[in-house]
Amino acid sequence: MPRSDLAQLDLSPQHLALMRDILARHVPDAEVWAYGSRVHGTAHEGSDLDLVLRHPEDLGKDVANWPALQEALQASRLPMLVDVHLWSRLPASFHPEIERSYVVLQGGCGRAASLKAASGGGSRES
Protein backbone atom coordinates (compact mmCIF):
# COMPACT_ATOMS: atom_id res chain seq x y z
CA MET A 1 0.00 0.00 0.00
CA PRO A 2 1.74 3.21 -1.12
CA ARG A 3 1.39 5.65 1.71
CA SER A 4 2.19 9.23 0.75
CA ASP A 5 4.10 11.77 2.79
CA LEU A 6 1.87 14.05 4.85
CA ALA A 7 3.61 17.04 3.25
CA GLN A 8 2.02 15.95 -0.05
CA LEU A 9 -1.48 16.65 1.31
CA ASP A 10 -2.97 19.82 -0.19
CA LEU A 11 -4.07 21.36 3.12
CA SER A 12 -2.68 24.41 4.90
CA PRO A 13 -0.85 23.85 8.20
CA GLN A 14 -3.64 25.66 10.08
CA HIS A 15 -6.36 23.53 8.51
CA LEU A 16 -4.35 20.36 9.08
CA ALA A 17 -3.97 21.23 12.77
CA LEU A 18 -7.70 21.92 13.07
CA MET A 19 -8.53 18.67 11.26
CA ARG A 20 -6.28 16.64 13.54
CA ASP A 21 -7.79 18.25 16.62
CA ILE A 22 -11.32 17.42 15.48
CA LEU A 23 -10.31 13.84 14.67
CA ALA A 24 -8.61 13.38 18.05
CA ARG A 25 -11.69 14.68 19.89
CA HIS A 26 -14.33 12.67 18.03
CA VAL A 27 -12.68 9.48 16.73
CA PRO A 28 -9.47 9.14 18.76
CA ASP A 29 -9.12 5.39 18.21
CA ALA A 30 -9.75 5.41 14.46
CA GLU A 31 -7.15 5.19 11.77
CA VAL A 32 -7.92 8.06 9.38
CA TRP A 33 -6.68 8.24 5.81
CA ALA A 34 -6.98 11.13 3.38
CA TYR A 35 -7.20 10.20 -0.30
CA GLY A 36 -8.35 11.66 -3.58
CA SER A 37 -7.44 14.90 -5.33
CA ARG A 38 -5.89 16.55 -2.25
CA VAL A 39 -3.41 13.67 -2.06
CA HIS A 40 -2.89 13.21 -5.80
CA GLY A 41 -2.04 16.86 -6.41
CA THR A 42 -5.05 17.49 -8.63
CA ALA A 43 -7.14 19.56 -6.19
CA HIS A 44 -8.52 22.96 -7.05
CA GLU A 45 -9.90 25.67 -4.78
CA GLY A 46 -13.33 24.03 -4.49
CA SER A 47 -12.11 20.46 -4.00
CA ASP A 48 -13.39 18.48 -1.07
CA LEU A 49 -11.20 16.51 1.32
CA ASP A 50 -11.88 12.78 1.17
CA LEU A 51 -11.40 10.84 4.40
CA VAL A 52 -11.87 7.19 5.21
CA LEU A 53 -12.17 5.95 8.79
CA ARG A 54 -10.78 2.51 9.58
CA HIS A 55 -11.40 0.52 12.76
CA PRO A 56 -7.90 -0.32 14.06
CA GLU A 57 -8.80 -3.79 15.31
CA ASP A 58 -11.34 -4.97 12.74
CA LEU A 59 -11.67 -3.37 9.31
CA GLY A 60 -15.15 -4.88 9.04
CA LYS A 61 -16.45 -2.82 11.96
CA ASP A 62 -17.74 0.74 11.88
CA VAL A 63 -15.79 3.40 13.75
CA ALA A 64 -17.68 4.55 16.83
CA ASN A 65 -18.84 8.18 16.99
CA TRP A 66 -18.43 8.88 13.29
CA PRO A 67 -21.77 10.75 12.99
CA ALA A 68 -20.54 13.21 15.64
CA LEU A 69 -17.35 13.65 13.64
CA GLN A 70 -19.36 14.55 10.55
CA GLU A 71 -21.33 17.14 12.52
CA ALA A 72 -18.16 18.64 14.01
CA LEU A 73 -16.56 18.90 10.58
CA GLN A 74 -19.63 20.64 9.16
CA ALA A 75 -19.63 23.11 12.05
CA SER A 76 -15.88 23.72 11.85
CA ARG A 77 -13.95 26.60 10.30
CA LEU A 78 -12.56 24.33 7.59
CA PRO A 79 -13.12 26.08 4.24
CA MET A 80 -13.79 22.89 2.29
CA LEU A 81 -16.33 20.12 2.33
CA VAL A 82 -14.96 17.06 4.12
CA ASP A 83 -16.38 13.83 2.75
CA VAL A 84 -16.16 11.09 5.43
CA HIS A 85 -16.47 7.41 4.56
CA LEU A 86 -16.26 4.27 6.64
CA TRP A 87 -13.90 1.62 5.29
CA SER A 88 -16.32 -1.02 6.57
CA ARG A 89 -19.15 0.34 4.41
CA LEU A 90 -17.26 1.04 1.19
CA PRO A 91 -17.51 -1.57 -1.53
CA ALA A 92 -14.48 -3.85 -1.34
CA SER A 93 -13.82 -3.01 -4.99
CA PHE A 94 -13.08 0.59 -3.95
CA HIS A 95 -10.45 -0.32 -1.31
CA PRO A 96 -7.58 -0.86 -3.81
CA GLU A 97 -8.22 2.57 -5.34
CA ILE A 98 -7.73 4.25 -1.96
CA GLU A 99 -4.77 2.00 -1.11
CA ARG A 100 -2.94 3.20 -4.24
CA SER A 101 -2.30 6.60 -2.67
CA TYR A 102 -3.28 7.90 0.73
CA VAL A 103 -1.99 9.96 3.64
CA VAL A 104 -2.44 8.84 7.23
CA LEU A 105 -3.87 11.75 9.24
CA GLN A 106 -4.28 9.75 12.41
CA GLY A 107 -3.01 6.34 13.42
CA GLY A 108 -5.34 3.86 15.08
CA CYS A 109 -5.86 3.71 18.86
CA GLY A 110 -5.20 7.42 19.40
CA ARG A 111 -1.74 7.53 17.80
CA ALA A 112 -0.95 10.73 15.91
CA ALA A 113 0.25 10.31 12.36
CA SER A 114 3.94 10.66 11.75
CA LEU A 115 5.10 13.42 9.45
CA LYS A 116 7.60 10.98 7.93
CA ALA A 117 6.77 9.13 4.76
CA ALA A 118 6.55 5.39 5.04
CA SER A 119 9.46 5.19 2.63
CA GLY A 120 11.72 6.85 5.19
CA GLY A 121 11.59 10.33 3.69
CA GLY A 122 12.29 13.35 5.82
CA SER A 123 9.65 15.13 7.80
CA ARG A 124 8.49 18.60 7.00
CA GLU A 125 6.46 20.74 9.34
CA SER A 126 4.99 23.95 8.01
Residue 126 lies in a domain: no
Residue 51 lies in a domain: yes
Residue 1 lies in a domain: no
Residue 115 lies in a domain: no
Residue 125 lies in a domain: no
The pLDDT tens digits of the residues spanning 86-117 come to 999 999 999 999 999 999 999 987 544 433 23
Please give the residue range of the domain that contains residue 18.
Answer: 6-106
Closest by CA to 98, choosing from 85, 112, 115, is 85
Burial of 6 (0-12, 13-18, 19+ CB in 10 A): buried
Residue 45 lies in a domain: yes
The pLDDT tens digits of the residues spanning 65-94 come to 999 999 999 999 999 999 999 999 999 999
Question: Which pLDDT value is given to residue 108?
Answer: 81
CATH of the domain at 89: 3.30.460.10
Q: Which residue has the higher pLDDT, 122 or 22?
A: 22
Question: Which pLDDT value is given to residue 30?
Answer: 97
Question: Which pLDDT value is given to residue 9?
Answer: 94
What residues are annotated to the active site?
48, 50
- What are the counts of helices (DSSP H) followed by strands (DSSP E) for the chain? 4, 4
Q: What percent of the chain has pLDDT over 70?
A: 85
Calpha distance 84→66 (Å, rounded):
8
The pLDDT tens digits of the residues spanning 28-46 come to 999 999 999 999 999 998 8
Residue 79 lies in a domain: yes
Q: Could you give the number of structural domains in the chain?
A: 1
Residue 119 lies in a domain: no
